[in-house]
Amino acid sequence: MTIVVHHLENSRSQRVLWLLEELELPYEVRRYQRDKRTMLAPPELKRVHPLGKSPLIEDDGQVVAETGAIVEYLVDKAAGRLGAPAEREGALLYRHFLHYAEGSLMPPLLVNLVLARIPLFGKAGLRKFRPMVDVHLNYVEAQLAQRPWFAGSEFTAADVMMSFPLEAAAARANAREGRPSLSAWLGRIHARPAYQAALRAGGPYAYA
């Protein structure tokens, strides 16, 4: 059965399309546009899931929400492809970055985005808050200086999970500046054929 992806423009759900392309799983995209004034998801998504958030997938009558849960679901459906490496160290790195992407990295980036949009007082707050963002970006740079991918020598779904916050950081927080390993990693993911195919399937995505 074809997986249905409820896809919101310029959102986390781009990662789901990318992973589906990497895993070569058949899928159908149902696109949603943000409210032009509030930039929030449209109310139609609440017909699919009570939270009305994207991404959401439907597969064989099952609705799955939350990007991390969707990623784990799809890796399992693909018999573990692009999942945790066999060796213990790689498996630990995989699980760490699978959860770090949204649990630790994305929250300060979101605060950074909000502060950047507040005139006058936001700029003052941004200067004080920026060191907290840099702690995370410098950590990521140090990790990628040791290996080409987040879980080791091979590309995994952990790299898919890390893409959205790091693309957002590159676009809005100068993440590439002084961080050659992070910048090189972004170049590698953007060059992947599956990534390019997902962009064509998903439509507008400001962070690519």
Task: Give the model confidence (pLDDT) of 52-73 as tens digits.
Answer: 998 999 999 999 999 999 999 9
Does the pLDDT at position 122 exceed 60?
Answer: no
pLDDT at 33: 83
Question: What average pLDDT score do residues 121-141 get?
Answer: 83
Question: What average pLDDT score do residues 140-146 get?
Answer: 98
Mean pLDDT of all residues belonging to the chain:
92
Does the pLDDT at position 119 exceed 70?
Answer: no
Does the pLDDT at position 116 exceed 80?
Answer: no
Q: CA-to-CA distance for 66 and 12, rounded, in angstroms?
A: 9
H/E stretch holding 125 reads helix 121-144
Expressed as residue numbers, the domain containing 73 is 3-82+194-202
The DSSP code for 40 is P
Total count of domains within the chain: 2
Does the pLDDT at position 93 exceed 90?
Answer: yes
Same domain for 57 and 100, yes or no, is no
Q: Residue 55: inside a domain, yes or no?
A: yes
Q: What is the pTM of this model?
A: 0.92
Q: Return the exposure string of 121-144: e unless at least 16 CB atoms fall within 10 Å of the residue's CB, then b.
A: eeeebbeebeeebbebbeebbebb
Q: Residue 208: inside a domain, yes or no?
A: no
Contact partners, residue 66, CB within 8 Å, separation at least 6: none
Does the pLDDT at position 39 exceed 80?
Answer: no
Helix (H/G/I), strand (E/B), else coil: 41: coil
Q: CA-to-CA distance for 18 and 28, rounded, in angstroms?
A: 13
Does the pLDDT at position 36 exceed 90?
Answer: no
Same domain for 198 and 183, yes or no, is no
Note the pLDDT tens digit of each residue in 155-185: 999 999 999 999 999 998 899 999 999 999 9
Q: Residue 207: inside a domain, yes or no?
A: no
Question: What average pLDDT score do residues 77-91 get?
Answer: 98
Chain-centroid distance, C-alpha 49: 20
Question: What average pLDDT score do residues 91-115 get?
Answer: 91
The 10 Å Cβ neighbour count of residue 182 is: 24
Same domain for 168 and 97, yes or no, is yes
Q: Contact, 182 vs 176, CB < 8 A?
A: yes
pLDDT at 173: 87
pLDDT at 73: 98
Q: Contact, 67 vs 16, CB < 8 A?
A: yes
Same domain for 138 and 157, yes or no, is yes
Same domain for 96 and 182, yes or no, is yes
SS3 helix, strand, coil % of the chain, rounded to 5? Answer: 55, 10, 35
pLDDT at 206: 83
Percentage, residues of the chain above pLDDT 90: 73
pLDDT at 112: 76
Longest CA–CA span in the chain (Å) reads 52
The DSSP code for 44 is G
Same domain for 76 and 105, yes or no, is no
CATH number at residue 36: 3.40.30.10
Residue of higher predicted confidence among 34 and 166: 166
Question: What average pLDDT score do residues 142-163 get?
Answer: 98
pLDDT at 120: 59
User: What tokens does 57 get?
Assistant: 């997938």
Q: Contact, 102 vs 67, CB < 8 A?
A: yes
Same domain for 120 and 138, yes or no, is yes
CATH number at residue 144: 1.20.1050.10
